[in-house]
């Protein structure tokens, strides 16, 4: 069982490495294109979909789909009321946005920061369940702009791509964003509140960690399950070995467990957790034992029970007992075990 888990862990590590490299290549596109959107021009990753126009009132919006940005939207409306008042309404700010704020928006972590875009603006990052939502709001040429990215399971790379787009924006007259915007965005990325973005390393590593913990748990349980009775000498066994891996195969499933194996008089007895699990008359085994080698682990002796076994722990069978149930005993010395069984 442990070699199988090690192989699975190795395969998973290889797949995780390939996924990590693919993710990095995917989230750092080498090619970008220039796009005119709602009176602005900006850079978008080359793989971004064609624009979807979404006329409305009072907002008109243009939407794109991208693996890097998720759903990316640029919308604008004629300003209605005070800019700070609109921010409080839209983002439920706990106070005026005159300094960076970290708070919870509808129970999810959020971070808001005043920035200078073409003039005063706001940069907001928030969680919305599994979505990472990044928004930049600003006024320009008599319009109020809302630039937004919504990406599932987003991380820092998604936010970096979004902020690069913000830094690339130009107004209709050709003027670019304020020189203070890029450092402000970099500062926002460096000071992200806990829970806002996922760490891609942990997302990929957690299943591997779980597999390692499962291996440790399996080893611990196997060591306990495979121990002999507390006073092995009192058994007067002609043959006794602990830590034997056993496979019991029923009609529809298989069960692996560790056991201690003893030959007591005319009986083969298996112990789990130091107490008897089953006993089989040695006479039942003569002429019925076959020998083989599995892909992993030591050779084995195998035989069919066919009703000859006396089970002491029926709850551990989990439906395995049926006519033709096979019992496989893995051992480093099959010849010695065969002699001990008189088979």
**Can you give the pLDDT at residue 71?**
95
Terminal alpha carbon distance of the chain: 27
Question: Domain residues of the chain, as ranges?
Answer: 31-194, 226-340
277-323 pLDDT per residue, tens: 888 899 888 888 998 887 766 899 998 887 677 887 765 555 555 55
d(C-alpha 213, C-alpha 190), whole Å = 32
**Can you give the pLDDT at residue 101?**
94
d(C-alpha 133, C-alpha 135), whole Å = 7
pLDDT band for position 177 (50/70/90)? very high
CATH of domain 226-340: 2.30.29.30
DSSP state of 198: B
Per cent of the chain over pLDDT 70 is 83
Tell me which long-range contacts 304-310 makes (C-beta under 8 A, separation of at least 24): 305/280, 308/280, 308/281, 308/284, 309/278, 309/279, 309/280, 310/278, 310/279, 310/280
**Can you give the pLDDT at residue 269?**
92
**Can you give the pLDDT at residue 20?**
44
Strands (E), the chain: 32-37, 40-45, 52-54, 60-66, 70-77, 101-105, 108-116, 120-128, 131-140, 143-152, 239-249, 254-264, 267-272, 275-281, 290-293, 299-304, 310-311, 326-330
Provide the 10 A C-beta neighbour count for residue 73. 20
Q: What is the average pLDDT across 112-124?
A: 95
d(C-alpha 257, C-alpha 245), whole Å = 6
Question: What's the mean per-residue pLDDT of the chain?
Answer: 84
Query: What are the tokens at 47?
Result: 């793989």
**Can you give the pLDDT at residue 198?**
64
Asked if the model's pLDDT at residue 342 lies above 90, the reply is no
Lowest mean per-residue pLDDT among 156-170, 180-194, 233-247: 233-247
Q: What is the average pLDDT across 220-232?
A: 81
**Can you give the pLDDT at residue 10?**
64
Q: What is the average pLDDT across 2-13?
A: 58
- CATH fit for domain 31-194, picks 3.40.50, 3.30.420, 3.40.1000, 3.30.450: 3.40.1000
**Can you give the pLDDT at residue 14?**
52
Residues with Cβ within 8 Å of 332's Cβ and at least 6 positions away in sequence, in order, are 298, 299
Count Cβ neighbours within 10 Å for each residue of 144-167 and write b for 16 or more, e otherwise: bbbbbbbbeebbbbbbbbbbbbbe
Q: What is the average pLDDT across 139-163?
A: 92
**Can you give the pLDDT at residue 5?**
58
155-176 pLDDT per residue, tens: 888 899 999 999 999 999 899 9
d(C-alpha 141, C-alpha 241), whole Å = 86
Tell me whether strands 52-54 and 40-45 are parallel, antiparallel or unpaired.
unpaired
pLDDT band for position 186 (50/70/90)? very high
């Amino acid at each position: 069982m442990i070699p199988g888990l090690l192989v699975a862990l190795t395969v998973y590590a290889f797949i995780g490495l390939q996924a990590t490299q693919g993710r990095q290549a995917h989230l750092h596109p080498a090619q970008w294109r220039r796009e005119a959107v709602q009176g602005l021009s900006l850079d978008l990753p080359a793989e971004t979909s064609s624009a979807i126009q979404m006329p409305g009132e009072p907002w008109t919006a243009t939407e794109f789909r991208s693996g890097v940005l998720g759903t990316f939207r640029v919308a604008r409306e004629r300003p209605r009321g005070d800019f700070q008042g609109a921010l409080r309404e839209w983002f439920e700010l706990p106070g005026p946005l005159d300094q960076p704020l970290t708070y919870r928006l509808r129970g999810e972590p959020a971070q808001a920061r005043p920035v200078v875009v073409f003039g005063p603006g706001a940069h907001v990052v928030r969680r919305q369940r599994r979505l990472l939502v990044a928004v930049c709001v600003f006024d320009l040429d008599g319009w109020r702009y809302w630039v937004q990215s919504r990406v599932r399971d987003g991380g820092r790379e998604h936010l970096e791509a979004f902020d690069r787009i913000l830094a690339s924006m130009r107004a209709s007259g050709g003027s670019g964003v304020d020189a203070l915007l890029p450092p402000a965005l970099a500062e926002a990325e460096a000071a992200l509140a806990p829970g806002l973005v996922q760490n891609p390393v942990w997302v990929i590593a957690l299943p591997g960690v779980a597999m390692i913990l499962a291996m440790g748990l399996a080893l611990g349980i196997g060591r306990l399950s495979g121990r002999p009775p507390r006073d092995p000498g009192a058994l007067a066994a002609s043959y006794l070995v602990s830590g034997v891996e056993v496979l019991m195969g029923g009609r529809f499933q298989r069960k692996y467990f560790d056991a201690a194996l003893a030959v007591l008089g005319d009986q083969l007895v298996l112990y789990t957790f130091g107490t008897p699990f089953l006993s089989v008359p040695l006479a039942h085994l003569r002429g019925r034992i076959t020998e083989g080698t599995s892909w992993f682990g030591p050779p084995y002796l195998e035989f069919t029970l066919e009703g000859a076994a006396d089970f002491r722990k029926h709850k551990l069978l989990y439906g395995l007992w049926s006519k033709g149930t096979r019992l496989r005993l893995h051992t480093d010395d099959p010849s010695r075990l065969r002699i001990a069984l008189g088979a």
